[in-house]
Structure 1
Amino acid sequence: DRVSVRNFALRWMKEPMLVRVEAERRMPKKVSHHYCVVPKRKRIETLRKIAFSEEEQVKSVIAFVDSQSNVDTAAEALNRMGVDSVVALRGDADKRERASVMQDFRNRKAKLLIATEIAARGLDLPDVSVVVNLDLPTDSDHYIHRAGRCGRAGAEGTVVSLTTKENAFVVSKLEKEMSVDIIHSTVYGGKIIRAEELPKQVRKRSELSKGAHLSKKAENQDSKREDLPRTAETKAQSASQLGSKRRRRKTRRRMMQGLPRTGKQNEAQCSNKS
């Protein structure tokens, strides 16, 4: 431990020096932490709103994903939305490509950098104001490393983690491990606000829309259940009608051939005569 190492140094070394370094796990002090619950299909749109908001003066943004394929997927989706100010950094990029991407990002030609955590290790990226976790980090060490990309040299920064409702428990786990408050937030009007601060009329519309969707879904299920016996009855009627047509055709063929009718048909004819 520290005491034994110090005693060893004092005993066996000449004029030893004690050097204190900051812990690697230290979280930047002026960084706020948020998480937004959004469906997977809306993650890229939410990222666009955060990075290119006209309301917030965001200098530059890094979005972290967990695989190289997701880097390309996110960049291509933003390009389809008409976003040009974005660059992608893959882990397998060669030295020239890596230098070109970083030059565009540092010179503000690109406002958003999408990268894997491995690709962004060791990079000196000043003036990053927002970090977005498109894919949640696997543990607190990775979260702290990502968060350290913003809020450097005492500057303010923001970390936003996007998660689905099913994976929200991961945020709680990270929160406990780091002893950091990660605020449940939403993106509204180009700003990141606390979920409870969302205007009441907006929350009401959202709840009504959700209720209408669930009601419509229930109606469709009820309609399907009601249609089941009708379908069976219709099939039975169709089978009966088909059988009658076949019997009539068979009777006509027998009469044309001069053959007697079947026993049931003769009985029916006698019954009609009587």
Structure 2
Amino acid sequence: MPFSKLGLRKPITQAVSELGYNSPTPIQEKAIPAVLAGKNILAAAQTGTGKTASFVLPILEQLSDGKTIRKKRVRALILTPTRELALQVQENIDLYAKHLPLTSLAMYGGTRIDAQKQKLIDGVDILVATPGRLLDMMFQRAVHFDELETLVLDEADRMLDMGFIDDINKIIERLPSERQNLLFSATLSKQVRFLAKTAIDNPIEISVTEEKSAEPKIEQWLTTVDKDKKSALLSQMINDNYWKQALIFIETKHGAAKLVTQLEKRGIHAESFHSGRSQAVREQLLEDFKQEKVKFIVATGIAARGIDIENLVRVVNYDLPFQPDDYVHRIGRTGRAGAEGEAISFVSKDDFKNLCKIESRLGYIIERRDIEGFAPRKAVPISILNYVPKNKKTANTKRKDSKKDTKRHADKENLDNRKPKLASKGNNRNTPAENTTPNDNNPWHSLKPKN
């Protein structure tokens, strides 16, 4: 099905065609007609399936009548969790709207607020903003929403993970009640659904997370290695396999700087990417990475959803993330839009609990591969999908035993009241608690390892 069949006018479909896109992805095919029909949307789709175009294209169609707006007003607001994602969305808007007389602006922290204020004076059609900076602008009366038509919450699950719920609520309270609401997320967790319930009236739910056509072709595997051998292993893999490019994820800014130095000593040039670097530097790094002027970027988790590199073939989890969702979003930087990708994780014994949580969420065991010369001194146990930490298991057991003791005590009292002359002969032994296993609800089972 061509984009023109979705109800988009020629200037939009022409821009899309010039970018090399001939037919919509599943999420676009379902979401665009619904948005054009004025429906409120609650949509879930994995990273790399074209979520941005799913709301940008129909918004451009709705705003393309060229309606004049007053100063400091906006007609569509898109909230994103990070500066990188705000810039990425705004860049896509510019590309899709190249043949339309519409204006857009990306607004985020880390840069001078005066320059962004100046751009808002004449008003913009589409504002892409991070919650914190938008609140600053609202409190300074630099932006008003009395002409707002559409609100988009992009990467809603990530915004909630980053603690933006209070900011989001404060923003929504100041928006006109008559508006179209679109929520897009990689997952529809309980928190996301609760946000949708409070912010969106009668949404249509759209999900393509289980469609085979949306499955990323990501070859996932891990290798076990001691922490003090990781940098040597990474260097050897880069050199022995002639890697041309890789996005390497690490947990801390200090760790990123240290790894860049270690790689440099082995003749491998890499750049660190984290919140400690200025916005201008980060933007330039992304541009250089896209053009392959920089081959290796060592990034903290803040970049997991903000980096969108076409045809990125490889990501490396130098440090395994603590949250399973972060793992999914990291590896989602590769294998985008149907392309093939590779996701490699370095796992030490201390990572075992995190590994089990990740594999439980995925619903399968990640393939292990041994690298000669890097067998860990501390072996990593074999993974189990229904792994429950000892402390959690003990707590569950104690709660269940307590409930059973309470019930036995009540039964004993009832028996004594009915037959006061009879002595209680109840069994005082505690009954072992039932085995507990975590909920096997698995929204990520479509991320299957490559055959």
Q: Which amino acid aligns with 1:36?
A: T
Which residue in 2 is equivalent to 1:155? Answer: 339
CA contact (8 A) 1:171 1:182 kept: no
**CA–CA separation in structure 1 for the residues paired with 2:331 and 2:279:** 25
Which residue in 1 is equivalent to 2:250? Answer: 65
**CA–CA separation in structure 2 for the residues paired with 1:60 and 1:142:** 21
Q: Cα distance 1:111–1:180, how it changes in 2: closer, same or farther (>3 A)?
A: farther
Q: Cα distance 1:59–1:28, how it changes in 2: closer, same or farther (>3 A)?
A: farther
**CA–CA separation in structure 2 for the residues paired with 1:139 and 1:176:** 12
Cα displacement (A) at 1:145: 0.6
- Taking only aligned residues, the RMSD between alpha carbons, in angstroms, comes to 2.9
**CA–CA separation in structure 1 for the residues paired with 2:240 and 2:344:** 14
Q: Secondary structure at the match of 1:186?
A: coil
Q: Which runs of 5+ in 2 are unaligned?
A: 1-36, 47-185, 188-208, 379-451
**CA–CA separation in structure 2 for the residues paired with 1:18 and 1:183:** 41
Could you say which structure has the higher helix fraction? 1
Q: How does 1:189-204 map to 2 (within 5 A)?
A: none
**CA–CA separation in structure 1 for the residues paired with 2:309 and 2:362:** 24
Which residue in 2 is equivalent to 1:11? Answer: none
Q: How does 1:107-256 map to 2 (within 5 A)?
A: 107-187=291-371
CA contact (8 A) 2:305 2:330 kept: no
2:229 to 17, 31, 42: 42
Q: Secondary structure at the match of 2:284?
A: helix
Identity %: 27
CA contact (8 A) 2:315 2:344 kept: yes
Q: Cα distance 1:100–1:182, how it changes in 2: closer, same or farther (>3 A)?
A: same
Q: Cα distance 1:83–1:151, how it changes in 2: closer, same or farther (>3 A)?
A: same
Cα displacement (A) at 1:74: 0.5
Q: Cα distance 1:37–1:184, how it changes in 2: closer, same or farther (>3 A)?
A: same
Higher relative contact order (CA 8 A, sep 6+): 1
Cα displacement (A) at 1:104: 2.1
Q: Secondary structure at the match of 1:167?
A: helix
CA contact (8 A) 2:216 2:337 kept: no
Q: Which amino acid aligns with 1:123?
A: I
**CA–CA separation in structure 2 for the residues paired with 1:53 and 1:127:** 22
Cα displacement (A) at 1:17: 4.1
Which residue in 2 is equivalent to 1:92? Answer: 276
**CA–CA separation in structure 1 for the residues paired with 2:260 and 2:248:** 10
In the alignment, is residue 33 of structure 1 matched against residue 33 of structure 2? no
2:45 to 12, 15, 22: 22
| Most deviating of 171-180 and 106-115 | 171-180
CA contact (8 A) 2:273 2:298 kept: yes
Cα displacement (A) at 1:81: 1.1
Q: Cα distance 1:139–1:28, how it changes in 2: closer, same or farther (>3 A)?
A: farther
Which residue in 2 is equivalent to 1:105? Answer: 289
Which residue in 1 is equivalent to 2:266? Answer: 81
**CA–CA separation in structure 1 for the residues paired with 2:226 and 2:240:** 20
Cα displacement (A) at 1:87: 1.5
Q: Cα distance 1:128–1:51, how it changes in 2: closer, same or farther (>3 A)?
A: farther
Scaled by the length of structure 1, what TM-score is found? 0.57
1:101-140 deviation digits (Å, cap 9, x = unpaired): 1122111122111000113432221221111111111111
Scaled by the length of structure 2, what TM-score is found? 0.36
How many residues align structurally? 177
Pick the structure with greater CA Rg.
1
Cα displacement (A) at 1:16: 5.7
Cα displacement (A) at 1:70: 0.6
